[in-house]
Amino acid sequence: MKSGLKLGVSFEPGSMPARKVLAQFYMTIDGVASLVDRPDAPDDDSSDFWQAMWTGQWDSIDTLLLGRRSYELWSEFWPGVEKDPKASQNFRDFSAFANRAEKVVFSRTLATPKWEKSRIVRGDISQEIERLLSTPGGNMALGGGPRLLQAFLRLGLVDELRLCIQPSTVGRGKPLFAVESVPDDPTDIIPLGAPLRHDFRLVTARPLKSGNVFVHYVKEGN
């Protein structure tokens, strides 16, 4: 990945493509919505992880859709990373992307947004997305959390679903799907060595003609 970001894509009048909602989420093998802390986590400038999840598409995205907790976590960490010389190029580029994007926060309890270009939506999700889809702009990335994703799926508002399935089973936490009867879990990062956590290494992955994806993992250390 080359460093630096475009500041959006320009289109000729009347040629603006339809906006889409792109859901971007992390999930463990056992279905937990958690960004797993791994010693081999990819963070180099040529990482296909970053290309698949973000850098390959963020020139088309100008809006981030977040829930309250995700917004609070992101707004505490990402704004200043852009100018941090110790941060990786991927982190600095993502920070610049997030800083320039409009942040739409769906929350009935968040008092005041403190991140520049942020606003709170307390009303109906469908009405707000319908309004956004009717206005010119780029795609919208739905970045968290699981309950917000489920609300969007129920309403038929997700156009694309991008998952980074991480090679770990963690045994606890909030599932990415079917979360209606599951209480909130405050744990967002489940550390190495945590009870019930087991890590695996990907050997191969390939799409099948049926539309399924074949994956082969081996336990770390084997």
Q: What is the set of domains in the chain, with CATH numbers?
A: 21-192 (3.40.430.10)
Give pLDDT, residue 6.
43
For 25, 147, 183, the CA distances from 180, given in Å and listed in that order, are 18, 8, 8
Contact 188, 35 (CB under 8 A): yes
pTM of the model: 0.81
> Which DSSP string corresponds to 134-157?
TSS--EEEEEE-HHHHHHHHHTT-
pLDDT on residue 182: 64
pLDDT of residue 38: 57
**CA 52 to chain CA centroid, nearest Å:** 11
Q: Can you give the pLDDT at residue 188?
A: 61
Q: Measured in whole angstroms, how far is the alpha carbon of residue 222 from the centre of its chain?
A: 31
Mean pLDDT by 10 residues, the chain (222 residues): 42 65 89 68 60 84 94 94 92 94 96 94 95 96 87 92 86 79 64 82 87 84 74
pLDDT at position 187 is 60
Buried/exposed code over 118-140 (b: 16+ C-beta within 10 A; e: otherwise)? bebbeeebeebbeebeeeeebbb
Location of structure tokens 């991008």: 162
